Amino acid sequence: MTEKVGAPVNTPALVGLHTYGALVIAGVWTLTESVRAIVTGAASRAPAWWVLSIVALTVCSVMLLRPTTDPLPMRTTLLVAGLPTLGAFTNIAMLESPSSFGLYDMWTWPVGTIILCFLVLRGRALMAWAGQLLLSGTVLSWWWLTGPVESQVTDSGQEFSWNLSFLAVCTVLGVAMRRQVTIINELRDTTASVEIHRELAAARTAERDRELVYLNATARPLLERIVDSDSLSDADRIEISLVEAQLRDRIRARGLVRGPLVDAVREARLRGVTVVLLDDGGVDALPESHRELTRQRMTALLLRELEKATEGTTVTARILPPGRALVATVLCLSESGVRRHEIEAKKSD
């Protein structure tokens, strides 16, 4: 028995984005970043805008961490790519018209960049860059239109280049990681294919062994008798013909060589009845809930005809190919006439 191969992996699962720990870290991180507005006094000047910025960034985090298909669905992607810009607008509203730009004042800009970096991990690198250009364009436009505002930390160009550089590095790492995930899944598929072929080979070997046991028990004694005897009696010839017919049934009608039918067919042939069994796979293609019931109906019909059959009668049972209205037929040709029984593929009672 081979071990089952695990399910395909994806980048979010590989880095643990869907875990409880990731959710806790995201919550603590969002709360910590929002405290920057308290440090600068912006939150006290415009508490409503501050709360709205926290809501926007929290929604982004939840959308990124929520287990969904990979890559992230496009509607969710558009929401995540656009909300950092909304956060920037709320940040600008909190600042109003400052005379200078100090540390932590535009705190939603780097936070939005980090959110967009995680959007890259969710398989939406182009949309992450579109969101970054929209976010940066919003902040820089405000920066320049208001004076420009004097910065106590760094100028706008340096801040812009830092955010772009950070997203660029995350994009390279994200693309590389997703490529590795693709390789992992390809190796997984190869392993699964190997396991399937191994199980099929084991099944073929087991089937061959069963057939060898059957041949040793039925055909081998007769073959030894043929080799050791100068002549064969009529009983020997009958037994050989019966074994030959049984071997033919096992090849052409696997689905009909079942329990009571094996003995019933042998007894009918001993009485001089010609029995033809064919299996073209129609029963195996039925839903599992109907399969066994159909076999039972087929067995009952065939047993009834074999019991009534007399010398010179021909009984033909055939399981038809898949996709037909009928799944099986039983035909009986005798001196008294022809009887035909049909089993419909869709009938379940």
CB-count burial class (<10 Å; 0-12, 13-18, 19+) for 205: exposed
Helix (H/G/I), strand (E/B), else coil: 149: coil
Show me where the domains of the chain are located.
Answer: 11-190, 231-344
> What residue type is 228 in one-letter code?
D
Other C-beta atoms closer than 10 Å to the C-beta of 92 total 20
Q: What is the CA radius of gyration of the chain?
A: 39
> What residue type is 47 in one-letter code?
P
pLDDT at 168 over 80: yes
Dihedral in degrees, nearest 10, Cα atoms 307, 312, 313, 318: 110
> Model pTM?
0.57
What's the length of the chain?
349
pLDDT of residue 135: 92
Give alpha helix (H) positions in the chain.
Answer: 11-15, 20-40, 42-45, 47-65, 74-95, 108-121, 125-145, 156-228, 234-252, 259-270, 288-308
pLDDT, mean of residues 33-46: 76
**Adjacent-strand bridge partners of 339:** 332
pLDDT of residue 6: 60
pLDDT of residue 229: 79
pLDDT at 81 over 80: yes
pLDDT of residue 295: 87
C-alpha span between 217 and 58 (Å, rounded): 74
Q: Do residues 313 and 273 make contact, with C-beta atoms less than 8 angstroms apart?
A: yes
The DSSP 8-state label assigned to residue 69 in this structure reads -
Q: How many helices (H) and strands (E) does the chain have?
A: 11, 6
Higher pLDDT, 222 or 278: 278
pLDDT, mean of residues 183-202: 88
Q: Which has the minimum average pLDDT: 19-33, 114-128, 147-161, 244-258? A: 147-161
Q: Do residues 328 and 290 make contact, with C-beta atoms less than 8 angstroms apart?
A: no
Q: What are phi and psi of 102, to 5 degrees?
A: -105, 180
**Tokens at 231, concatenated:** 């002549």
pLDDT tens-digit series, residues 105-134: 778 888 899 999 989 988 899 999 999 999
Pick from 260, 264, 321, 325: which is nearest to 296 by CA? 260
pLDDT at 213 over 80: yes
pLDDT of residue 317: 92
Q: Do residues 65 and 26 make contact, with C-beta atoms less than 8 angstroms apart?
A: yes
